[in-house]
Amino acid sequence: LLISMSLWYEGLIPGGMPKRISDEIWTWYFYAAVFAVLFQLFVYACFRFYRNLWSYTSLEDIIRVVIANTLIFIGIYIYDYYVLSHMELMVLPRRLLALSWTINMILFAVSRFGYRLIKRFFIVIGHWVTRKAGSKRVMVIGAGSTGYGVIRHILNNAKSYEDRVPIIVVDDDPKKNDTTIHGIRVVKGTDNIPELAKMYAIEEIIVAVPSATNIQLKKIMDKCSETECSLKVVPPLSDVSDGVHHILRDVKITDLLFRDEIDIDVKSISGYLKDKIVLVTGGGGSIGSEICRQISVFSPNTLIIFDIYENNAFDLANELKSKYGNINIIVRIGSVRDKKRVAAIFEEFRPTVIFHAAAHKHVTLMQDCPGEAVKNNVFGTLNVAECADEYKAERFVLLSTDKAVNPTNVMGATKRVTELVIQEMAKKSKTKFMAVRFGNVLGSNGSVIPTFQRQISEGGPVTVTHPDIVRYFMTIPEASKLVLQAAGLGRSGKIFVLDMGEPVKINDLARNLIKLSGFVPDKDIKIVYTGLRPGEKLYEELIMAEEKEDMQVTYHNKIFVTKAVEHDSALFAKQLESLKYAAENKPMDVYRILKEILPNFNNAENISN
């Protein structure tokens, strides 16, 4: 008000009246100013302006400032019209209040937003003069609200984005081509990522399209993998335009799957699990524990976690008890190789559904210990299967592997024999016996991903056996859900094969994981090729040639049912006896007997195809 009066009566404003400010004007100002100060304090307090952190001012705060100041001057106008005008004071031009409102907004903006303006000024000058020497030159993928938020945080030196300078934004929306975000140019075409990265000397790419599907993300990743840039990802579905600082997302294993996870038929699964007694062997392992978690969702009466390693089983039981208090969670320690212990579990609980996940699965270790692989995988499975038959369980589900198809190692051969065991049991039992075959599971104990992550955390090198080796991959939750789904199909004696999508090159997997960890392959982290290990092959298969003839797709469309391969049951029984004797007395004979049982077993020391 004071500045407005001075400007008005000094004639500095068009339409003003240049003359000395009279005593009558000062009297009016005194009454108006006292009210204005008190009323302004009241309004600002109601809008909580005195508690704002103005260094984090947003567009919403600016709108609130405009509303608050407008209310203040409406109040002053009403006070002047209904109070001061009746006190026989000098009537001032109403335009003076409009001028005062304008000046008040400018002063408020400078005092509240000046910190940000000055800081931004020096940051921009610093970027322009020094190009932030030593900082990473960043390409942001995505010109939406998330990309905008990333650039804003980088320019504001947000803690989680410091030591970076944004250079260019890439988006596929033609409407955004040649526009700018905070002065950073937006160009069209994720197909041009490699060329743009080279042109602008980009060192890091930040993918800021959290709403993208895995298919869309794969396309972007494929292009990013052609550069030498490190890679960061913004958390999915985060709104970085709301003024909150977001940390760039850590590497998630599902980022490397690059396909949408499957849905399951909840009704069919609930029908055979609800209120039932369920036994999971190997329940403390990475796959077994996730199966236990998925089972618990469907409210079984009792869930028995059977494992030889007590620590994992104990932790899992505590987790499930705290989350599913209505389920009777029981842990029993023991080995499937101990028939008496297995029988005792069946006698105590009489389970109706059994998921058999207990197995030795490390290929190289089982090559060196073939007798132990047979004892645990083959005869451990036989022990549990015979108890399931004897105690009249409703269904028995074996977890198998793609390594059982045309096996080239002892582990795969023993799993193929267990499939035959299940098919034999189905011929003579009222229990529904079935096997579920799937490929590698991302993140399971001993799998390639944790190994790569450990090697990256140690600074490398990352070891890959062969540059062309490929594998099928699936996440642990996805594999577990499909196992439950396959079990609900209830076709005894069948082998269910899960649709694993397209095979993934291990070399690409390693390189993408290095990029997602913020490093550059072959520069920050070296990749070393060690050569194929004994029993390892370049390409895994999910179905044998003789199974394809009568292969059927289930109604779920992600699960296939294979044709059972016919074999002589009497001969198979004798071969099992010989295999058991060899495992216990002459382990090196195991190779020969497995070859007799499985003519397609090729146990060459180095398999290349």
CA pair distance 220, 225, nearest whole angstrom: 9
pLDDT at 402: 85
Is the pLDDT at 21 greater than 70, yes or no? Answer: no
Chain center to CA of 166: 25
Is the pLDDT at 447 greater than 60, yes or no? Answer: yes
Give tens-digit pLDDT for 292-314: 999 998 999 999 999 999 999 99
Q: What percent of the chain is modeled with pLDDT above 70?
A: 79
* 559-562 and 494-498 beta bridge pairing: antiparallel
Going by pLDDT thresholds of 50, 70 and 90, the confidence category of residue 462 is: very high
pLDDT at 58: 62
Q: Are residues 137 and 41 in contact, defined by beta-carbon separation less than 8 angstroms?
A: no
Q: Helices 590-597 and 569-585 sit at what angle, rounded to 10 degrees?
A: 170
**Number of C-alpha atoms within 13 angstroms, CB side, residue 95?**
8
What region, left, alpha or beta, does residue 237 occupy, with left being phi > 0 and alpha being psi -120 to 50 degrees? left
Give tens-digit pLDDT for 65-95: 888 888 888 888 888 778 877 776 666 667 7
User: CB-based contacts of 595: which residues, under 8 Å, 6+ apart?
Assistant: 601, 603
Average pLDDT score over residue span 424-440: 89
Average pLDDT score over residue span 473-481: 80
CB atoms within 10 A of CB 325: 8
Give tens-digit pLDDT for 316-347: 999 999 988 888 999 999 999 999 999 999 99
pLDDT at 245: 44
Is the pLDDT at 13 greater than 80, yes or no? Answer: no
Average pLDDT score over residue span 140-148: 88
Average pLDDT score over residue span 453-463: 90
Is the pLDDT at 105 greater than 70, yes or no? Answer: yes
**From residue 146, how far is each of 242, 245, 259, 509 by CA, in Å?**
10, 11, 22, 26
Give tens-digit pLDDT for 156-183: 765 666 678 888 999 988 888 888 888 7
The tokens for 568 are 């002589």
Amino acid letter for position 323: K
CA pair distance 387, 395, nearest whole angstrom: 12
Q: Are residues 272 and 296 in contact, defined by beta-carbon separation less than 8 angstroms?
A: no
Q: Helices 476-489 and 266-273 sit at what angle, rounded to 10 degrees?
A: 70
SS3 content of the chain, % helix, strand, coil (to 5): 50, 15, 35
Going by pLDDT thresholds of 50, 70 and 90, the confidence category of residue 238 is: very low
Give tens-digit pLDDT for 212-222: 776 787 788 77
* pTM for this predicted structure: 0.66
Going by pLDDT thresholds of 50, 70 and 90, the confidence category of residue 575 is: very high
* 470-471 and 504-505 beta bridge pairing: antiparallel
Which of the 8 DSSP states describes residue 132?
-
Going by pLDDT thresholds of 50, 70 and 90, the confidence category of residue 504 is: confident
Chain center to CA of 482: 19
